[in-house]
Amino acid sequence: MYCAPSDKEEPMEKFTKLTGTAAPMPLVNIDTDMIIPKVFLKSIQRTGFGKNLFDEMRYNRDGSEIPDFVLNKPQYRDAEILVAGDNFGCGSSREHAPWALKDFGIKCVISTSFADIFYNNCFKNGILPIVLPQEDVDKLMDDAERGANAKLTIDLENQTIQGPDGGTITFEVDAFKKHCLMEGLDDIGLTMAKEASIDSFEAKAAQERPWV
Amino acid sequence: MSPKTLYDKIWDAHVAHEAEDGTSLLYIDRHLVHEVTSPQAFEGLRMAGRKVRAPEKTIAVPDHNVPTTPDRVNGIDNPESRIQVEALDKNAKEFGVHYYPVSDVRQGIVHIVGPEQGWTLPGMTVVCGDSHTATHGAFGALAHGIGTSEVEHVLATQTLIQKKSKNMKVEITGKLRPGVTAKDITLSVIGETGTAGGTGYVIEYCGEAIRDLSMEGRMTVCNMAIEGGARAGLIAPDETTFTYIKGRPHAPKGAQWEAALTWWKTLFSDDDAHWDKVITIKGEDIAPVVTWGTSPEDVLPITAKVPAPEDFKGGKVDAAKRSLDYMGLKPGQPLTEIEIDTVFIGSCTNGRIEDLRAAAEILKGKKIKDGMRAMVVPGSGLVRAQAEEEGLADIFKEAGFEWRMAGCSMCLAMNPDQLSEGERCASTSNRNFEGRQGYKGRTHLVSPAMAAAAAVTGHLTDVREMM
Ligand code: SF4
């Protein structure tokens, strides 16, 4: 298995190790409309969505901040990790959701489960989604509640999360996705290198299913 | 040969390359494109000097933020929406893909246009940068939503990097009771599994109640597979499917039709195929349902009462509290006492001709409640034309409904059709998320017949009392 280097305008950032503040969002079923309300989907760019991340939870109608919202609290304004309730990212396929998280500075989301499409979209944007059992998420949620003094260290290579009091949790991640994230690789280049397989598949399919 | 599920069969017929760890390149037969999730993908192609590998398999149509008033052919007022639609016009032309612009009578919601034009066929792989791509599974096509990076990937390579999902069988046995529709089936399944219950699975819906559904009904069921967390929903093709497809503009003809039919008839799950999960629901146990909260899993029979947060466990307790607060509801309140301000009939879930017929059936000779705002947004220009021909449009208009042009409209409220703060809507769409239909708007998901009933009485209503 090998990967071709990225040739997008901005090569994808590599993810290896991250030490940062984790913000707690215990709510379950945080959906893509909460992450980035659709009124902000009208851009034809990939950047600039960070200021509207969690917009309806984060701001009053007049644009002022809702002080109680976790990312508005001083200790979480620079959070790079989210610890969230079950089924994070459910709803739409919009990649604007990971774009907004990334633009804000979130590089890792931890939950007991993620919606499929969102989970995939994260990897394509250099964000690491981590699935853990409930007890582990509860523990990290506790850590996150302690604010900026409680940084987590995510080590992708060794697949570990180190909490502020030294405890270590290990996590699973698909080997191929891990590799691409660590190397900052672009899928399209990778697939284009397999063009011969696509050509021969196409030729065979045209014989077998000419109506397609 | 070992027994296979329908999903296994379609998957196996589309693997162009498989790595040792099972990561596969899945060949894509149809790529549907709309204005919101594609501009960044086309821009990516342009930057890298790439072209669309198979423009003849790529179909584009603007739907998400097009206005639904007739004056829209004169241009879109909202500058950002206009930029997105214009970008699609330009990209479709530049890259040479099939295109149905706003001015074309065939324009409509991408998931309605695809099947209507015969682009969606059994055994195909179909993708679109939209989660409700699951709709096309009704034809026995493996169809799922993808993100914009994947849209770009499919445009450039006509493949998708995938790992195989698990197989789930959802069987709906027996007959449905009167007043119970495909929408009630699909919502009830989500009520049973939860919105994450299908995560990691492709669902195949089967059983007598599913077989009995029309293609329109089957599309409604598969449409919401994603709301149950599944990657895709499937229904094995049968005579109902073949009859629907035959003669559509892009359906195979002549000898190709016969060849296609022969293959399509092999597309079913073998008797002793392996399932990772099986759910069985009795058709006669399904009631007309509504949602009370802000997740599609917050579903109850219309005869029930608003639940209390304490009825739930774990993180759902807080979520239910938040939902009730957002929805402005009190535990113990009968669902039928919830008063409605607005009714929306449309979306890729329920914007097809059969849906309009079901709603019109209830509305015939009746008026909507005074002060009620009610609109019908047909799923495509052709659905609209057919409804006009059948006299349905007149029934809606006489009842007091607005009769709109095709598009997504208030399903996601990216165009001017939005709820205002606190406005409460009975909607035939698929998502009741906070703010989905407008900032602080409140959504109750229902079937078209239930929506029509609510429009008449002014509150959520058991449609069976009006039949
Ligand atoms: S009708 Fe609604 S759910 Fe369907 S494609 Fe449009 S916005 Fe998405």
Q: What is the pLDDT of residue A54?
A: 96
DSSP state of A99: H
Q: Is A173 in the B-facing interface, judged by CB distances under 8 Å? A: no
What confidence tens digit (pLDDT) does each residue in A31-90 have?
999 999 888 888 888 888 999 999 999 999 899 999 999 999 999 999 999 999 999 999
Tell me if B219 CB under 6 Å of ligand 1: no
Dig out the tokens for B343 from the structure: 């009714």
Q: What is the pLDDT of residue A11?
A: 55
Task: Catalogue all structural domains in chain A, each as residue range(s) with its CATH number.
Answer: 17-208 (3.20.19.10)
Q: Are B319 and A85 in contact (CB under 8 A)?
A: yes
Contacts B154 to A, Cβ<8 Å: none
Closest CA to A85 of A60, A128, A51, A115: A115
Q: B73 pLDDT band (50/70/90 cuts)?
A: confident
What confidence tens digit (pLDDT) does each residue in B249-294 have?
999 999 999 999 999 999 999 999 999 999 999 999 999 999 999 9
pLDDT average, residue stretch B440-444: 97
Contacts A131 to B, Cβ<8 Å: none
pLDDT averaged over every residue in chain A: 90
What confidence tens digit (pLDDT) does each residue in A109-143 have?
999 999 998 999 999 999 999 999 999 999 999 99
Contact: B412, A38; criterion CB under 8 Å: yes
Whole-structure pTM value? 0.91
pLDDT averaged over every residue in chain B: 96
DSSP letter for each residue of B357-402: HHHHHHHTT--PPTT-EEEEE-SBHHHHHHHHHTTHHHHHHHHT-E
Dig out the tokens for A34 from the structure: 């909460």
Whole-number Å distance between alpha carbons of A135 and B24: 33
Min distance A77 CA to chain B CA atoms (Å): 23
Q: A7 pLDDT band (50/70/90 cuts)?
A: very low
pLDDT at B338 over 90: yes
Q: A14 pLDDT band (50/70/90 cuts)?
A: confident
Number of other residues whose CB lies within 10 A of the CB of residue B33 = 29
What confidence tens digit (pLDDT) does each residue in B207-250 have?
999 999 999 999 999 999 999 999 999 999 999 999 999 999 99
Tell me if B121 CB under 6 Å of ligand 1: no
Q: Are B358 and B387 in contact (CB under 8 A)?
A: no
Closest CA to B188 of B311, B287, B277: B287
Does the model's ipTM exceed the 0.95 cut? Answer: no
pLDDT average, residue stretch B290-306: 97
Whole-number Å distance between alpha carbons of A119 and A109: 10
Strand order in the sheet with B201-206: B232-234, B201-206, B166-173, B277-282
Closest CA to B288 of B358, B393, B392, B367: B358
Q: A148 pLDDT band (50/70/90 cuts)?
A: low
% chain B with pLDDT above 70: 100
Tell me if B436 CB under 6 Å of ligand 1: no
Q: Is B51 in the A-facing interface, judged by CB distances under 8 Å? A: no
pLDDT at B391 over 90: yes
Counting from 1 in the atom list of ligand 1, the atom nearest the Cα of B431 is 3
What confidence tens digit (pLDDT) does each residue in B21-40 have?
899 999 999 999 999 999 99
C-alpha distance from residue B192 to each of A89, B186, B195, B286, B445 (Å): 20, 10, 9, 11, 16
pLDDT at B1 over 80: no
Ligand 1 geometric centre to CA of A16 (Å): 37
Cα A122 to the chain's mean position, in Å?
A: 4
pLDDT at A150 over 90: no
pLDDT at A9 over 60: no
Scan for tokens 């699975």, then name that residue: B201
